Amino acid sequence: MMKWVTSCALVVAVMSGCTAPDKSMYVRDGEQYGVTAGVFRGRWWSYYERGASFLSGKFYDEAVEDFETALINRSRDSWRARTYGLHFTHYFPNRELGVAYYYMERYEEAADQLEKALEMVDTARGHHYLGKTRRVLIAQGLLEDREAPTVAADLGGGTLVRDHIVPVEIVASDDLGVAEVRLNNRVLPQRAARTSVQFRERLQLREGAHEFEIAVTDLADKAHVEKQSFIVDMTGPTIGFHTPTDAVVSGAPIVAIEGVTVDDHGVADVVINDRVAATGNGEKRVPFRADVALEPGENRILVTARDLAGNETHSLVVVYHGDPGDVTAHLWLLQQRDPALLMLAQEGDMAALPDVPEPEDNIVLRSPRPDRPNRHNRAVRVAGEVNAASGVDALTINDEPFDQLTGAPREVFSRRIPIEDATLLEEGGRMTVAVMARDKDGQAIEEVVDVELRPISINTRESRMPVAVLAFEGHDAAAGLAEQMRLNLESQLIDRERFRTLDRTQLQAVLTEQELASALGNPAEAIQLGRVTPAHVFLVGDVFPHGDGVEVKVRIISSETTDIIAIIDGYAERREAENYKAASEAIATEFERLYPRLSGELLAVRERGGAQELYFDWTSADGLQPGAYALIVYEEPAEYDEVLGEYFGPFITEVGRARIEDISDNMSRARPTDILTEEITLEQGMAAITM
């Protein structure tokens, strides 16, 4: 009996020895594969870890066997699979089994397995290999590409836009997968091939006609090109007055206002004192005439011309209704024509009232003004009028020709000039605006203004979402690769001008103060660092090598609750700088989509339990995340200057910040976190923007 037991034990021992991997068999280029970090425990995570090692070493049969064994005990992929106690690991046996099938040229099985894996967890590596697999199946005739790709682009404002920063929304689709999308020959970043991909881009352009081209290619190399033409129109209609051309005194009860308005891209309408005097219907030259009843004394008549792009030009016609020979009327007209002469007469320097001088040829700039800063952070509005008895023959604004002239003796113009200097956009400064004209007699007229640019924009650095890109841990990655990927992502976020990142100097100061010396290199300690930074969220990453490729997983963590808000991943097929950059760009794009820049309105302010609650008009359909922050601003209404006949403003003041707590189908609820000014209280109807 004892001999029989001993024999059985020997058989079991021999069989066990035969099934255990012989490490000497799994060496490639001097590196050992089929290994685990610790003792092989025979659990699902051990088989997965060993299978991943086999896959990296290109021992595909062994990798498949280990992945299939792991799946028997745990069948679902996960970024955080719990092993024992509070220990977690990334676990993707379905995906990695599909990758192994791909390299074994079992392409149909690979496609099925990768599709199954992506239904569980959407990963960039999964999409990457599914795209490669489908390409092979198409080439082998095993997968039919029935349709060419399609693309749709939406400019938002149509083909005639009134801003030099033009938002473009692009949606590309294909039955098997969109391989690449190019905008004006620039490849747009995407997370591998998908059946539908969406992009939001901004084109920064000068005024004039433009064309953009979108080229989309699918996995079968079928291509489709879409071109769209559009016009950036930042010039309002020009208003030419034939009568009256200057301030006048009239004894008649009615004054006839007559002139013409021109616009290179089409006039919409002309409104005189809230009454439509002419409808343009897109015509480039539209005459107008209106009889306006006069009240005794001074009458200010507002004339507004609007073009098809939405630009407006305003002008004020000033008429005094009374006896032209009356002293009061004489004084009024003298005030309009030469205020300094009237002041001298009133101070007693003249024995009798001086005669009213004849109108002079001149340029009157209503905007910008040297005594009032320009608060718009993207453009300066240049508006005014040229008065020339013989008519205006030529006009330039900062050496740029203004050809949109009517031929009338009084030309009222309006144009916005983009601020292109990056420093002026961010910090403000001074800018010279020079308007020069020549009348039909060849006489030159000019007006030069030095204006202060003082932006109070909701796109200031302080209004951008503060984030901290903290530790990236390299799991068996080459030395320095984790830090390189962290820096790549940080650079991508900075370039987008949507976020502001805390630099290493700031973080080092916090480290020293909080005694977290290793937090920048240790994700576990980085959470402690994130709690004491002013960032709204912080990003902690993991870098996983896969053979020649690299997978990057980034956790988006709330600095207030330390909850994981989202996980975003990227994949670089080869360990090269350009591939690393592309992976980081894809992650930054997904992060920006997670925190969209939304404008909205404060719907209500309520007191609950001694604390304020704020309600905004953002809904769950807007893609906003709980924990995002909003900046509330007060828009001081535009002022109409009756003397100059021009609108100024609106002026914007940042009032406070709030954290979004809850998002429903019809509103968002938030709580105030910072009150930036005590002079203005939070009220319903205030404008807001997400940080």
pLDDT tens-place string over residues 591-608: 888 888 777 778 888 888
- Mean pLDDT for the stretch of residues 469-478: 77
User: 330: which residues sit within 8 A by CB, 6+ positions away?
Assistant: 353, 356
User: 26: which residues sit within 8 A by CB, 6+ positions away?
Assistant: 32, 33, 34, 54, 57, 59, 62
Q: Which domains does the chain have, with CATH numbers?
A: 25-121 (1.25.40.10), 150-232 (2.60.40.10), 360-455 (2.60.40.10), 461-590 (3.40.50.10610), 599-690 (2.40.30)
Question: Which amino acid, residue 49?
Answer: E
Residue 69, pLDDT > 90, answer yes
Percent of residues, the chain, with pLDDT higher than 90: 32
Q: Name the token pair of 36.
A: 């685990």
The rounded distance, in Å, linking the Cα atoms of 58 and 31 is 12
Of 250, 437, 261, 253, which is closest to residue 326 (Cα–Cα)? 250
Residue 6, pLDDT > 70, answer no
pLDDT higher for 649 or 255? 255
Kindly indicate the confidence band of residue 43, based on its pLDDT and cuts at 50, 70 and 90. Answer: very high
Task: State the residue for tokens 């070493």.
Answer: 57
> pLDDT of 348-375, one tens digit each?
655 567 777 788 899 999 888 887 776 5
User: 296: which residues sit within 8 A by CB, 6+ positions away?
Assistant: 321, 322
pLDDT winner (highest mean) among 59-73, 182-196, 378-392: 59-73
pLDDT higher for 537 or 561? 537
DSSP letter string, 295-319: -SEEEEEEEEEEETTS-EEEEEEEE
Residue 80: predicted pLDDT: 79
Give the helix/strand (H/E) hosting 491: helix 481-495
Helix, coil or strand: residue 341? helix
* CB 605, CB 668: distance < 8 Å: no
Residue 507, pLDDT > 80, answer no
- Mean pLDDT for the stretch of residues 629-633: 86
- Mean pLDDT for the stretch of residues 531-547: 78
Residue 510, pLDDT > 60, answer no
Min mean pLDDT across 41-55, 568-582, 617-631 is at: 617-631
Question: Taking the mean position of all CA atoms in its chain, how far away is CA 127?
Answer: 26
Min mean pLDDT across 480-494, 576-590, 666-680 is at: 666-680
Residue 8: predicted pLDDT: 39
> pLDDT of 307-346, one tens digit each?
998 889 999 999 999 998 888 888 888 888 877 776 766 6
Q: What is the mean pLDDT of the chain?
A: 82
User: 400: which residues sit within 8 A by CB, 6+ positions away?
Assistant: none
| 254-279 per-residue burial string, b: 16 or more CB within 10 A, e: under 16 | ebebbbbbbbebbbbbbbbbeeebbe
Of 261, 309, 367, which is closest to residue 164 (Cα–Cα)? 309
Phi, psi of 191 (to 5 degrees): -85, 80
> pLDDT of 207-235, one tens digit each?
889 998 999 999 999 999 999 898 989 89
DSSP letter string, 515-565: T-TTGGG-HHHHHHHHHTSS-SEEEEEEEEEETTEEEEEEEEEETTT--EE
The rounded distance, in Å, linking the Cα atoms of 301 and 645 is 9
